[in-house]
């Protein structure tokens, strides 16, 4: 923090009075800093990459349709944004959160993908824009992760054979999807904040336009969303019949990413989900 303090003050035209570390995930160091005029900001710092600029782009895209922190400045090695004071969930928090996500998914693009590649965790996420959802999801999500697993010596013959079978079944499983919804892309319990009013804010996105059901791959993987959330979502934009089965294929992308990020401890869950996807 000290090494960037003067730079931030110069770039933003402010004077930092105090700061303290806070939780920022496993990739970045994070701080809350307060200026001499009593304004608070949230800062993430890390090694130089395109990650923070891509995060800025993603938050700006989401801001067109939902509640996200405002970004004040982004460089290769840090990002400064609005500080959201954490609070507690209220009775209708998750129902309203579900409604808000449904409204986000009603914000549509003309193609699947995004105007730039970005990151999911620290893994590059390829967003080459395509007309076909099945082709996009196979090429830019599943096949990319399989190739990465092979480079990381994490792929087995059984995994490769399973993916070969899945490639043939993807059109049948996913069907013809024509609507490209704006997605957060990595929505789990660590990537939203409940503020002091009980409202949910989205953070740390991996934004792209895709089939809205893909959002639920991560939502359903690690918990953190109660039934009220799904009730609220379906009140605004009801999920289509059979989404639970298709959800296995969408969970597979995130499990493959965890395999590549964290190692072989995720291999069993990957194989189980792959088999369920093919069933």
**Residues labelled as active-site residues:** 186
Give the Cα-Cα-Cα angle 264, 250, 119 (nearest 5 degrees): 70
Give the Cα-Cα-Cα angle 44, 45, 48 (nearest 5 degrees): 135
d(CA 174, CA 171): 5
Neighbours of 196 (CB within 10 A): 10
Burial of 223 (0-12, 13-18, 19+ CB in 10 A): exposed
d(CA 55, CA 29): 15
**Residue tagged 């920022």 (tokens):** 24
d(CA 257, CA 114): 19
What one-character-per-residue DSSP string does 154-169 give?
Answer: ---HHHHHHHHHHHHH
């Amino acid at each position: 923090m000290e090494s960037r303090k003067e730079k931030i003050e110069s770039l933003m035209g402010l004077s930092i009075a105090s700061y303290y570390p806070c939780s920022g995930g496993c990739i970045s160091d994070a701080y809350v800093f307060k200026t001499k005029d009593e304004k608070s900001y949230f800062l993430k710092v890390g090694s130089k990459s395109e990650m923070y600029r891509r995060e800025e782009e993603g938050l700006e895209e989401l801001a067109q349709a939902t509640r996200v922190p405002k970004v004040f400045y982004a460089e290769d090695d840090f990002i400064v944004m609005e500080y959201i004071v954490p609070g507690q969930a209220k009775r209708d928090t998750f129902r309203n959160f579900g409604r808000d996500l449904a409204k986000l998914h009603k914000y549509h693009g003309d193609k699947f993908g995004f105007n730039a590649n970005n990151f999911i965790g620290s893994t590059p996420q390829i967003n080459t824009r395509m007309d076909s959802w099945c082709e996009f999801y196979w090429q830019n999500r599943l096949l990319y992760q399989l190739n990465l697993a092979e480079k990381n010596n994490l792929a087995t013959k059984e995994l490769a054979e399973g993916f070969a079978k899945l490639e043939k079944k993807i059109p049948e499983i996913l069907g013809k999807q024509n609507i490209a919804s704006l997605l957060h892309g990595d929505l789990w319990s660590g990537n939203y904040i409940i503020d002091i009013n009980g409202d949910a804010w989205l953070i740390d996105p991996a934004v792209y336009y895709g089939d809205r059901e893909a959002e639920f791959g991560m939502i359903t993987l690690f918990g953190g969303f109660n039934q009220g959330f799904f009730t609220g979502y379906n009140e605004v934009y009801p999920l289509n019949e059979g989404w639970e089965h298709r959800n296995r294929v969408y969970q597979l992308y995130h499990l493959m990413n965890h395999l590549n990020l964290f190692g072989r401890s995720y291999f069993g869950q990957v194989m189980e989900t792959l088999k369920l996807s093919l069933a």
